[in-house]
Structure 1
Amino acid sequence: MKINWKVRLKHKPFLIGAFALLLLLVQQIGALLGYDTTIYNERVTELFNTVLAFLVLIGVGVDPTTEGTSDSAQALKYEKPKDDVK
């Protein structure tokens, strides 16, 4: 599986998704260690987790233009995310 991490780390949706994933992971580890991770109340915490999960869903995706989880040969050569606007 080859992924052009240099470009992925410059792509804003990927960064947002990765940050949201990190927040969810920290919250889960805290809960496992016995820390109260409730933000304001249970409903607000559930809403916050849903928003974070949605951000992860849209941000940490595979390259939709290729089969499988690897980047395309063309995407591996990019120095920055491709701008589709001409």
Structure 2
Amino acid sequence: MKINWKVRLKHKPFLVGTFSLLLLLIQQIGTLFGFDTTIYNDQVTDIFNTVLALLVLFGVVSDPTTPGMNDSERALNYDKSKGEIK
């Protein structure tokens, strides 16, 4: 697996997703060790966690070689991934 970390670390959606993932991980580790990580109440905490999970998803699936959340014109024309057998 080859990843261009130089480009990926400059891509804002990836950074937001990574930061959100770290927040979720810290919260889960804190809960594991008995720290109360409830923000206001359980329902608000659940909504906050869902928003963080969505940010992680957007950060992971975004293409760092294009601006915003869009795929490149070339990628939009793919019928299958590059590694698939013909």
Give the whole-Å Cα distance in 2 for the aligned partners of 1:22 and 1:56. Answer: 9
Equivalent runs, 1:47-62 vs 2, <5 Å: 47-61=47-61
Q: Percent identity?
A: 72
1:31 counterpart residue number? 31
TM-score, normalised to structure 1, is 0.72
The root-mean-square deviation of aligned C-alpha atoms, in Å, is: 1.8
Cα shift at 1:61? 2.5
Give the whole-Å Cα distance in 2 for the aligned partners of 1:45 and 1:27. Answer: 10
Q: Deviations over 1:15-66 (max 9, x none)?
A: 0000000000000000000000100100110000000000001102375745
Q: Which amino acid aligns with 2:18?
A: A
2:18 counterpart residue number? 18
The higher-RCO structure (CA 8 Å, 6+ apart) is: 1
Unmatched segments (≥5 aa) in structure 2: 64-70, 76-80
User: How many residues are treated as equivalent by the alignment?
Assistant: 68
TM-score, normalised to structure 2, is 0.72
